């Protein structure tokens, strides 16, 4: 027996149903009737939060406490992949001090004021997610500034992820995930399996960027998804006001 999950479209307010595995069990061992309400306009809330600016001053806090403080300031949930932190030789207990008089979430994810912050963000160490919809889609912030600086355009990144990942993508498949760009930060809304795929694909792009820089090569080996991109997305500007 599956659970019906309802979610509304922020543009049309159409409610659709998605089947998920049942939630919990009853005392008799039967699956209960349960519904989770997931609203797509939660993603719009996250986009609004992206532009919110606050003052943030924190002294001698671990990266976990720092993330908690940021989450409280912006009224979002931030999760830390502790293994990703350890894999990069950083300590969960390492203390940081920050003094940001005017900063947004997008700025924070591109900041190099904290040792290792960009590395952690690039390797999916942080996820910005709305608790109400975390069982269906998650919205992650990914630092892609290094890829852009190495010569990949936002269109390169977007098109490569379209072609190489399983999706689904809203622009290509009529429903699914989306990408939006805020300078050097990509806001990625997708299912957890696709999030993992994208993380691996971005690692491949980063390796390609290193080869390009090391050998001063003019060409990239990333294949464009010409038919899909030109048909559905060629007119979409790559900035904070557009996405898929």
C-alpha to C-alpha distances, 214 to 53, 113, 200, 211, 222, nearest whole angstrom? 38, 26, 21, 5, 17
Domain extent, residue 101, equals 52-129
Nearest Cα residue to 208 out of 146, 163, 129, 159: 146
Do the beta carbons of residue 54 and residue 101 sit within 8 Å? no
Q: Is the pTM of this model over 0.85?
A: no
* Each residue's pLDDT tens digit, 136-176: 677 788 888 888 888 888 998 999 999 898 888 888 877 78
pLDDT over 60 (residue 93): yes
Same domain, 157 and 110: no
C-alpha to C-alpha distances, 131 to 48, 150, 214, nearest whole angstrom? 16, 35, 42
Same domain, 120 and 165: no
- Tally of domains in the chain: 2
Phi, psi for 80 (deg, rounded to 5): -115, 125
Please indicate, yes or no, if residue 26 is contained in any of the structural domains: no
Please indicate, yes or no, if residue 46 is contained in any of the structural domains: no
C-alpha to C-alpha distances, 18 to 41, 117, 221, nearest whole angstrom? 16, 36, 38
pLDDT at 161: 92
pLDDT over 50 (residue 101): yes
Same domain, 117 and 187: no
- Measure the CA–CA gap between 183 and 2, rounded to whole angstroms: 41
Mean pLDDT along residues 210-223: 58
Same domain, 118 and 160: no
């Amino acid at each position: 027996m599956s659970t019906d999950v309802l979610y509304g479209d922020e543009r049309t307010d159409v409610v659709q149903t998605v089947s998920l595995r049942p939630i919990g069990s009853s005392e008799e061992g039967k699956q209960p009737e349960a519904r989770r309400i997931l609203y797509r306009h939660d993603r719009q809330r996250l986009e609004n939060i992206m532009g919110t600016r606050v003052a943030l001053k924190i002294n001698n806090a671990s990266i976990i406490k720092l993330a908690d403080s940021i989450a409280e300031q912006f009224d979002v949930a931030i999760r830390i992949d502790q293994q990703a932190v350890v894999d990069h030789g950083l300590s969960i207990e390492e203390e940081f001090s920050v003094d940001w008089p005017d900063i947004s979430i997008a700025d924070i994810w591109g900041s190099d004021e904290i040792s290792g912050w960009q590395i952690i963000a690039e390797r999916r160490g942080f996820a910005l997610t709305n608790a109400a919809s975390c069982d269906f889609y998650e919205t992650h912030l990914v630092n892609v500034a290094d890829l852009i600086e190495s010569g990949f355009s936002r269109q390169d990144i977007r098109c490569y992820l379209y072609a190489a990942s399983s999706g689904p993508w809203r622009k290509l498949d009529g429903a699914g995930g989306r990408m939006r760009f805020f300078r050097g930060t990509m806001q990625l809304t997708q299912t957890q399996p696709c999030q993992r795929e994208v993380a691996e694909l971005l690692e491949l792009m980063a390796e390609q960027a290193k080869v390009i820089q090391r050998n001063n090569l003019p060409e990239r080996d990333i294949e464009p998804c010409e038919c899909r991109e030109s048909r559905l997305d060629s007119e979409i500007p790559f900035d904070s006001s557009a996405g898929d």
